[in-house]
Amino acid sequence: MATTYKVLGQSAPSATTNTTLYTVPAATSVVASTLVVANRGTSTTFRVAIRPAGATLADEHYIVYDASLNQYDSTFLTLGITLATTDVVTVYAGAATLSFSLFGSEIV
């Protein structure tokens, strides 16, 4: 098995839109180590969900829900979440001023 440490996904999503940040590729497992949320503007909220096997988004998938992020601030979430093939990380921004970056390891 080969392990690749990398930027798994980056996105600056539109406001109030669920957006796929990362989907685990076929024949791959992942350890998502750190998620950074950077606010480039006005104070707002954000959400993060993990959708097993690409399931339709539901309440049980949220790991962060409407967390506040002040103007021009960032938050660093140390996760250590394990993901399987076709699992999806979905993000949501209350305003179009957030940037999401997910870092981790792909294991093939």
Q: Give the pLDDT confidence of 68-95 residue by residue, as tens digits.
A: 999 999 999 999 999 999 999 999 999 9
Beta strand residue intervals within 24-61, DSSP E: 29-39, 44-51
How far, in Å, CA of 9 to CA of 22, rounded?
A: 5
The 10s digit of each residue's pLDDT in 44-74 is 999 999 999 999 999 999 999 999 999 999 9
- Note every long-range contact of 63-68, with CB atoms under 8 Å and residues 24 or more positions apart, other chains counting: 66/94, 68/43, 68/44
Q: Which helix (H) or strand (E) holds 68?
A: strand 62-69
